[in-house]
Amino acid sequence: MSGDVSASGDRSVAAGGYIGWVHTGDRVTALPPEALGPVVCPPGLVNVPRRAAHFVGRGEEGALLDEEPETVVISGLGGVGKSSLAARWALRQAMHRNPVWWITAESRADVDAGLAGLAAAMQPALIDVLPQEALRERALQWLAAHDGWLLVLDNVTDPADVEHLLARTGRGRVVVTSRTTDAWYGIGRVLALPVLPAAEAVELFTRVANHAGPRDTTGVERLCETLGQLPLAVEIAAAYCGRTATPPLDYLAELGRSRGPGNAEEAVARTLRVTFNRLAATVPYASGLLRMLGWFAPDRIPAMLLPPFPGTREALGELAAHSMITLHEDGSVSVHRLVQAIARRPAPGDVPGQPGLIERMRSLAETALAHAASLDSEEPAHREVWRALLPHLEAHLRHTDPAGDGEALLWVLADAGAYLSLNGLYEEAAEAYERSLAGCERLYGPDYLPLLGLRGALAENLASAGRADEAIEAAAATVRGMTEALGADDPNTLLARSCLATAHAKAGLTHRATVLQESVLGDMVRVLGPKDRRTLETYAELAGIYQAANRTLEALTLNTYAAAEMSLLIGEDDPDTLRIRINQVGLHVGVGAIDQARAGYTELLSVCSRVLGEDHPYTVHVREALDAQGPGDPLGAKNERTVEWWVHGGKPAQGPE
């Protein structure tokens, strides 16, 4: 590196001239040309959910949003129409702002994911190349350097979750919606959104009720007053009256038999109970389905999470007709957060301490998550479905007590940890593995052998997250437990020791990792033999540690042996063999064997495309290794790298067979 370029600080990167790859010690990523140039936002980039087909009033609030140049926080009760106002106003801005981007912002993780989604929408070629944290940073840098854009941060629960974004993005417009009315001093102007005035509440009811034809609206003023003029409650009641031709006075009488406190949430709860009671006779499945949907995120619940029962579509149609859900063209479903909160309440007839309807629907939601995750075949961490699934899994975890996690959910959590780890979200991955482990130990006991894989994956992610001491302790505890339970020479104990070596390697302690892995390899050769699959994989893992320690020739020797023997043992097209073969070609680059590396990558691209498919990470990696070079450029000049698949193939450590 040139003498006038330097970097300081943990995992800093120094750049001098052209850079086609960056290695910070955690992962190595080959970047396509799109990642090396400036971000260009395509015209007409709009991401705003469909809201409130029947929208009335809010003229003054809309004018304030038009005139206010700084951040505006729309605050108010749940169900008062904050998101509907923001969505309606944002869509009008799309004529002269770009991008117009909506982010569900209930947590810091939601905000980061939304920013990453914006970067990916600007440059789709980077979706499967950069981890989420890098995509988020690209979005923040673009927003800081440009004006004329609009972000909507919906349902912020803690201002601290968006302060980092607001501090860096002062050139565009930001609108926040939140139930929190205080703690915004110095952040933005608060627009307190009240319930509708009486006349506008009546107008909303009349529009919705008469949507399918004229209806008797006698007594509508009294009904709206009873509902507190809360838009969500008014719309649900009006949809029911319009759907069933029920006069407002009859609906009011039904509400009188469903008494409760007069707060806003109870107004919605009472309207839902009336609708549920009436639907029970004709579409009994509707109530349970809505209660199940309450355990997911509110926006765009994908069709793969819906029960595959004959009555599902009919029930969804009835719920949509009664304004309790929104159906989208792609088959997904959205539910208002307040409706979800009420749907998660104990149902009438549920006995405290005994499984009732709510518990059954929570369990059904877990089953749906498990079924959707299983659609990803044997490698769920690598599949597209997780992009849609993860927000709903995270919402489910927020709404549930870990002590109640069922068996199906626990293994979904393990798969989620693999996906998060693959995307560089090591802290989040560690949290998923920790909750999965805690539940598995509760159900199966701490000595359940398949938990070895989870513990190894947890240790690796703790190390990658910079929590080296915790990672090493977690791996060491596993070794101690396995040694005590199974003996020092048991294959499972040997695998646990390999995980401990991996934890040291991830922590950057390459010398200690080398000593540990060499010892493990020696014992595996003695106990299992030199050509056992587990022994051969340990050879490859030790090669990775040698490479990290700049012992490239030794790494190449070990990896070449492992690749040849794995090919004979399980076939050269097996994914685990392919991983080792890919690493071997990377090592050829490292020792300057460029022509051999080029030929190896060309052959592997054909094999990976045929065996794994064009979009598999291994295929993508090999293709990038060839495409990253310019015309006439030696392979090593722009693509001198190996991938972090040395340890367990880029996926969680496999448990005992």
The pLDDT value given to residue 262: 52
Mean pLDDT of the 41-70 span: 84
Give the per-residue pLDDT at 36. Answer: 54
**CB-based contacts of 228: which residues, under 8 Å, 6+ apart?**
195, 262, 264, 267
Residue 649 has pLDDT above 60, yes or no: no
pLDDT at 10: 35
Q: Work out the average pLDDT over 289-305.
A: 91
Q: Which of the 8 DSSP states describes residue 176?
A: E
pLDDT at 131: 74
Extended strands (E) in 205-330: 326-327
pLDDT at 369: 93
Mean pLDDT over residues 468-496, rounded? 87
Q: Which residues contact 203 (CB under 8 A, 6 or more apart)?
A: 56, 57
Packed helices 248-256 and 264-282: angle between N→C axes, nearest 10 degrees: 100
| CA atoms lying within 13 Å on the CB side of residue 493 | 14
For the ranges 437-441, 457-461, 553-557, 563-567, the lowest mean pLDDT is seen at 457-461
Span 633-647, average pLDDT: 39
Question: What's the confidence (pLDDT) of residue 135?
Answer: 85
Q: Which residue has the higher pLDDT, 19 or 476?
A: 476
* Average of per-residue pLDDT values in the chain: 81
DSSP per position, 602-650: HHHHHHHHHHT-TTSHHHHHHHHHHHTS-TT--HHHHH----TTTTGGG
Hunting for tokens 């010892």 — which residue is that?
Answer: 519
Whether the full predicted model's pTM is greater than 0.85, yes or no, is no
Does the pLDDT at position 422 exceed 80? Answer: no
Q: What is the pLDDT of residue 512?
A: 94
Cα separation, 10 vs 208, in Å, equals: 58
Q: How confident is the model at residue 614 (pLDDT cuts 50, 70, 90)?
A: confident
**pLDDT tens, residue by residue, 65-113:** 988 888 899 988 888 888 889 999 999 998 899 999 999 888 888 898 8
122 pLDDT higher than 50:
yes
Query: What CA–CA distance (Å, rounded) separates 287 from 267?
Result: 18
Return the minimum-mean-pLDDT range out of 278-287, 308-317, 397-406, 559-568. 278-287
Residue range 193-244, pLDDT digits in tens: 888 899 999 999 999 988 878 888 888 999 888 888 888 888 888 888 888 8
Q: What was the pLDDT predicted at 226?
A: 83
320 — pLDDT class (breaks 50, 70, 90):
confident
Residue of 514, 603, 610, 509 whose CA lies nearest to 555? 514
- Tell me, what's the pLDDT at 292? 93
The vertex-119 CA angle with 115 and 122, nearest 5°, equals 140
Of 644 and 316, more confident: 316
Are the C-beta atoms of residues 434 and 403 closer than 8 Å to each other? no
- Residues 223, 246: Cα–Cα separation, whole Å: 12
Give the pLDDT confidence score for residue 257 in this predicted structure: 64
**Residue 20 confidence class, pLDDT cut points 50, 70, 90:** very low
Task: Confirm if 227 and 196 have CB atoms less than 8 A apart.
Answer: no
Per DSSP (E only), the strands in 98-243 are 100-104, 150-154, 173-178, 189-192
Q: Is residue 167's pLDDT more than 60?
A: yes
Tens of pLDDT, residue by residue over 504-533, are: 888 888 999 999 999 999 999 999 999 999
**What pLDDT, on a 0 to 100 scale, did the predictor assign at position 450?**
75
pLDDT in tens, 262-294: 555 677 777 777 777 777 777 878 888 988 999
User: How much of the chain exceeds pLDDT 70, in percent?
Assistant: 84
